[in-house]
């Protein structure tokens, strides 16, 4: 396929969709992924060792942390690259340069270079592999986008690449980075347990897999079980470890919610460390990292019992950057005017774990007017257990709770026109299962209605009909993809996010 392939972004999306295997994440062999990624990166001509990167893992808040960090460094005049997932409306959202998605022609040009190159690699045996049967083949969807992101960052000559881990850390495609300038770990909780393990310690071990020898790592405050593992891994690997403080309560943040104070502090600390190391050789960075750590702790290696706090010295420019950061579908308030629902205000948060839904609940309680009736609009992936998630929302006093399926991941790859009501590939009875879980958790009473609908359009219509008496605050949560569904339906464009 040539770089002049017809159809532009539509052809890109069709090609990307062929990389979706249909396997559950727990069925994918992640362990050989990094071996394959080295082949892919070499093939497309990316020298990952020279990429000046900030690498961020975690369960809750890693995307927000990356958004804060990108804004701080962009406001300081650096040319930034930002790689995050998932996207909400347009696949280009995942790969941004200087805070913006690339123009379609530029994105497609980079895409087809990588696609054509990796297609050739996948069809022939590579020298590192014994036979064509053991060659890496075409990368999976996420691995391909990681290759593309790093190729774009190299081609566009960014000064810094802020890279969010996809799943876990140890075997994630982004962990191909051998020498990031600094690593960060946001709050760790329970998610992707089929891949990462069923205890906080196991999950923390996988997240800590991004820690590299002599590279400073800064962690958000963690539960003791996770903190112990992170400290142990840092000591074993030989990396200076710090804990980020919370930013002061007086500071206004562009992303609302108390939990964002941890994310903002982590981001500011990562940026400070990045800037202090920028322009030095790797050997100079190694020496200065340990000199600073020794100066702050009086020790030459990390101690599990005493991890120092990273000094947080926010000045007015950094405070302004934190206040001006926007990250869609995270503590995101949108009025319903664009879909003819002037009396509905949507509070959109893509929370999808117990910890993030607890934070979402606290944000909604503080953000929504106490005198306005409230509705819940919820959908989560069918790989999740709604009975584990919904208790976090049970005490918010909803007038009604409405459940509907998401559109499929496959169809979510492409920009979707407003009014698209695709049901997607979730089980046909999934909305009823979610509603049943809610009934068991919240109980049934005459003051709250519980509805199951076949589409997002029907769900919004049901809430609108129930709100004929006045204003309504609608919490939309359960999944980032579901949050994206709503933003698409409201006619939002990717360049408005």
Residue 1 included in any domain: no
How many H-runs (helices) and E-runs (strands) does the chain carry? 16, 14
- pLDDT at residue 404 above 70? yes
Average pLDDT (14-33) is: 72
**Dihedral Cα 214, 216, 221, 224, nearest 10 deg:** 0
Cα dist from 266 to 81, 119, 435, whole Å: 18, 39, 37
The C-alpha atoms of residue 326 and residue 11 are separated, in whole angstroms, by 30
Of the candidates 465, 466, 457, the residue with the CA atom closest to the CA atom of residue 486: 457
**Pairing state between β 332-336 and 241-243:** unpaired
- pLDDT at residue 282 above 50? yes
Least confident of 150-159, 183-192, 360-369, 396-405: 183-192
CA torsion sign for 217, 221, 225, 228 is: positive
The C-alpha atoms of residue 360 and residue 64 are separated, in whole angstroms, by 14
Residue 27 included in any domain: yes
Specify the CATH number for the domain of residue 417: 3.90.190.20
Q: Are residues 155 and 120 in the same domain?
A: yes
Q: Are residues 302 and 341 in the same domain?
A: no
Q: How confident is the model at residue 491 (pLDDT cuts 50, 70, 90)?
A: confident
Q: Are residues 446 and 349 in the same domain?
A: yes
Could you say which of 303, 323, 343 is where a domain stops?
A: 323
At residue 209's C-alpha, the angle toward residues 207 and 215, to 5°, is 110
The C-alpha atoms of residue 67 and residue 255 are separated, in whole angstroms, by 10
Tell me, what's the pLDDT at 481?
A: 94
pLDDT (tens digit per residue) in 292-346: 888 888 654 444 458 999 999 899 999 999 999 999 999 999 999 989 899 999 9
Specify the CATH number for the domain of residue 126: 3.40.1190.10
Of the candidates 122, 99, 119, 123, the residue with the CA atom closest to the CA atom of residue 111: 119
Q: Are residues 134 and 233 in the same domain?
A: yes
Residue 2 included in any domain: no
Percent of the residues in the chain that have a pLDDT greater than 70, as a whole number: 86
Could you say which of 304, 323, 342 is where a domain stops?
A: 323
Three-state secondary structure call for residue 245: coil
pLDDT (tens digit per residue) in 141-200: 999 999 999 999 999 999 999 999 999 999 999 999 999 999 999 999 887 667 788 799
- pLDDT at residue 104 above 70? yes
The C-alpha atoms of residue 38 and residue 108 are separated, in whole angstroms, by 23
Cα dist from 138 to 141, 256, 267, 278, whole Å: 9, 40, 34, 35
Q: In the sheet where 374-378 sits, what is the strand order?
A: 332-336, 341-348, 472-477, 374-378, 400-403, 449-452
Tell me the pLDDT of the chain averaged across its residues: 88
Average pLDDT (195-224) is: 94
Categorise residue 69: left if φ over 0, alpha if ψ from -120 to 50, beta otherwise: alpha
For residue 85, give its domain range: 9-323
Average pLDDT (87-109) is: 96
Residue 227 included in any domain: yes
Q: Are residues 306 and 381 in the same domain?
A: no
Q: What is the 3-state secondary structure (H, E, C) of 85-139?
A: CCCCCCHHHHEEECCEECCHHHHHHHHHHHHHHHHHHHHCCCCCCCCHHHCCCCC
Specify the DSSP class assigned to residue 478. S
Could you say which of 272, 300, 323 is where a domain stops?
A: 323
Q: Which residue has the higher pLDDT, 36 or 302?
A: 36
Q: Are residues 13 and 99 in the same domain?
A: yes
Q: Which residue has the higher pLDDT, 31 or 331?
A: 331
Residue 151 included in any domain: yes
Q: Which residues contact 224 (CB under 8 A, 6 or more apart)?
A: none
Burial of 224 (0-12, 13-18, 19+ CB in 10 A): exposed
Residue 392 included in any domain: yes
- pLDDT at residue 458 above 90? yes
Q: Are residues 317 and 414 in the same domain?
A: no
The C-alpha atoms of residue 254 and residue 98 are separated, in whole angstroms, by 18
Average pLDDT (56-73) is: 97
Percent of the residues in the chain that have a pLDDT greater than 90, as a whole number: 71
Q: How confident is the model at residue 115 (pLDDT cuts 50, 70, 90)?
A: very high
Q: Are residues 424 and 306 in the same domain?
A: no
Q: Which residues of 91-103 are buried (b: 16+ CB within 10 A; e: fewer)?
A: bbbbbbbeeebbe
Three-state secondary structure call for residue 44: helix
Residue 248 included in any domain: yes
Q: Are residues 355 and 260 in the same domain?
A: no
- pLDDT at residue 285 above 80? yes
Per the CB < 8 A criterion, the answer to whether 166 and 172 are in contact is yes
Tell me, what's the pLDDT at 408?
A: 53
Per the CB < 8 A criterion, the answer to whether 353 and 388 are in contact is no
Compute CA 236 distance to the chain's CA centroid, rounded to the nearest angstrom. Answer: 28
pLDDT (tens digit per residue) in 376-394: 999 998 888 999 999 999 9
Q: Are residues 251 and 393 in the same domain?
A: no
Q: Which secondary structure element, helix H or strand E, spans residue 202, and what is its range?
A: helix 200-207
Tell me, what's the pLDDT at 3?
A: 43
CA torsion sign for 335, 90, 157, 108 is: negative
The C-alpha atoms of residue 390 and residue 352 are separated, in whole angstroms, by 10
Q: Are residues 180 and 49 in the same domain?
A: yes
Residue 129 included in any domain: yes
The C-alpha atoms of residue 271 and residue 279 are separated, in whole angstroms, by 14
What's the structural domain count of the chain? 2
Average pLDDT (129-139) is: 62
Q: Are residues 257 and 363 in the same domain?
A: no
Average pLDDT (127-132) is: 42
């Amino acid at each position: 396929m040539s770089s002049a392939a017809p159809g532009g972004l539509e052809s890109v999306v069709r090609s990307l969709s062929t990389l979706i295997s249909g396997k559950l994440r727990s069925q994918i062999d992640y362990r050989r992924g990094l071996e394959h990624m080295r082949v892919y990166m070499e093939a497309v001509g990316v020298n990952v060792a020279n990429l000046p990167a900030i690498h961020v893992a975690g369960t809750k808040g890693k995307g927000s942390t990356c958004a804060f960090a990108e804004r701080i460094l962009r406001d300081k005049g650096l040319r930034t690259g930002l790689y995050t997932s998932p996207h909400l409306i347009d696949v280009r959202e995942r790969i941004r340069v200087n805070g913006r998605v690339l123009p379609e022609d530029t994105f497609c040009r980079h895409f087809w270079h990588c696609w054509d190159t990796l297609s050739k690699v996948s069809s022939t045996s590579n020298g590192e592999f014994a036979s064509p049967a053991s060659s890496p083949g075409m990368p999976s969807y996420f691995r391909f986008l990681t290759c593309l992101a790093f190729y774009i960052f190299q081609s566009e000559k960014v000064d810094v690449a802020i890279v969010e881990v996809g799943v876990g850390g140890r075997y994630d495609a982004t962990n191909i980075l051998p020498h990031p300038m600094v690593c960060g770990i946001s709050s760790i909780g329970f998610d992707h347990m089929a891949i990462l393990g069923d205890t906080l310690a196991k999950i923390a071990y996988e997240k800590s897999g991004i820690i590299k020898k002599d590279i400073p790592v800064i962690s958000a405050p963690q539960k003791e079980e996770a903190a112990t593992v992170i400290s142990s891994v840092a000591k074993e690997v030989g990396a200076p470890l710090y804990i980020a403080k919370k930013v002061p309560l007086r500071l206004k943040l562009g992303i609302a919610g108390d939990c964002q104070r941890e994310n903002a502090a982590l981001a500011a600390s990562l940026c400070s460390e990045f800037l202090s190391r920028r322009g030095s050789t790797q050997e100079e960075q190694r020496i200065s990292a340990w000199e600073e750590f020794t100066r702050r702790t009086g020790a030459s290696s990390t101690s599990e019992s005493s991890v120092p706090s990273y000094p947080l010295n926010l000045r007015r420019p950094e405070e302004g950057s934190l206040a001006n950061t926007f990250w869609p579908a995270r503590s995101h308030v949108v009025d319903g005017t664009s879909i003819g629902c002037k009396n509905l205000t949507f509070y959109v948060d893509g929370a999808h774990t117990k910890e993030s839904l607890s934070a979402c609940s606290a944000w909604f309680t503080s953000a929504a007017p106490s005198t306005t009736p409230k509705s819940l609009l919820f959908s989560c992936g069918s790989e999740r257990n709604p009975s584990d998630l919904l208790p976090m929302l049970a005490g918010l006093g909803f007038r009604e709770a409405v459940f509907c399926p998401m559109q499929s991941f496959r169809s979510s790859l492409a920009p979707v026109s407003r009014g698209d009501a695709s049901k997607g590939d979730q089980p046909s009875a999934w909305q009823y299962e979610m509603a049943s879980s809610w009934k068991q958790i919240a109980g049934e009473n005459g003051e709250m209605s519980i509805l199951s609908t076949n589409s997002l359009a029907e769900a919004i219509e049901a809430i609108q009909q129930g709100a004929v008496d006045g204003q309504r605050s609608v919490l939309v949560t359960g999944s980032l993809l579901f949050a994206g569904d709503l933003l698409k339906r409201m006619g939002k464009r990717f360049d408005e996010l």
